[in-house]
């Protein structure tokens, strides 16, 4: 189902998009990594661990020479598993309607309605390298690493995380 836009609702009264996908089972495009069912469960678990403060969401990832100031959209709440995806509800803050770059909240809501595939959420996380190495070792034979997920045709290593920092709106999300 496509995300549901409500311009009046949300925890901050500044709009909400319900049912947005944070991540989905599959290849993390451009990263040569694989998100499996465990990864999706981790996204849900770490998003829920943010509790009442929710998971931060910005308009694009901050760049090398810029932080996310003026790009804050709001917070993701009620992150849950839906099939092979982690989905949640993006609640916009009032200031996202009046940023140095204009009304970013309205732009994202309009884009979602007009062309839901034109943008998506991209998770920002820290790898759990120890868990990734352990998983790789457990699934390595004399022929090398063999992913237990038959959909992982390129045999990419599986993502494990130990912290979820944000989920930002980008035009080409790697893990969605």
Q: Taking the mean position of all CA atoms in its chain, how far away is CA 164? A: 9
Between CA 28 and CA 149 the distance in angstroms is: 14
What are the pLDDT digits (tens) for 76-97?
A: 999 999 999 999 999 999 999 9
DSSP 102: B
Percent of the chain with pLDDT over 70: 97
Residue count (the chain): 176
Between CA 27 and CA 140 the distance in angstroms is: 19
Residue 66: predicted pLDDT: 67
Is residue 65 scored above 70 in pLDDT?
no
Q: How far is CA 2 from CA 42, 107, 113, 118, 156, in A?
A: 23, 17, 9, 12, 29
Is residue 69 scored above 90 in pLDDT?
no
**pLDDT top residue among 176 and 92:** 92
Q: Are 90 and 57 in contact (CB under 8 A)?
A: yes
Please, what's the largest Cα pairwise distance for the chain?
A: 58
Query: Average pLDDT for residues 138-157, to the nearest whole number?
Result: 96
CB atoms within 10 A of CB 71: 21
pTM listed for this prediction? 0.93
Q: Are 73 and 121 in contact (CB under 8 A)?
A: no
Query: Average pLDDT for residues 55-76, to the nearest whole number?
Result: 83
């Amino acid at each position: 189902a496509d995300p549901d836009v409500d311009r009046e609702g949300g925890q901050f009264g500044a709009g909400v998009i319900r049912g947005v996908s944070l991540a989905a089972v599959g290849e993390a495009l451009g990263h040569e990594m694989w998100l499996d069912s465990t990864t999706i469960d981790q996204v849900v678990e770490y998003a829920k661990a943010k509790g009442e403060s929710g998971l931060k969401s910005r308009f694009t990832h901050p760049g090398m020479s810029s932080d996310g100031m003026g790009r804050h959209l709001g917070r993701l709440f009620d992150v849950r598993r839906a099939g092979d995806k982690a989905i949640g509800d993006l609640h916009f803050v009032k200031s996202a309607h009046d940023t140095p770059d204009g009304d970013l909240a309205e732009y994202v809501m309009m884009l979602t309605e007009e062309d839901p595939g034109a943008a998506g959420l991209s998770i920002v996380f820290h790898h759990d390298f120890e868990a990734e190495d352990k998983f790789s070792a457990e699934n390595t034979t004399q022929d090398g690493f063999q992913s237990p997920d038959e959909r992982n045709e390129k045999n990419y290593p599986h993502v494990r995380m130990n912290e979820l920092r944000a989920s930002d709106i980008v035009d080409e999300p790697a893990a969605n």
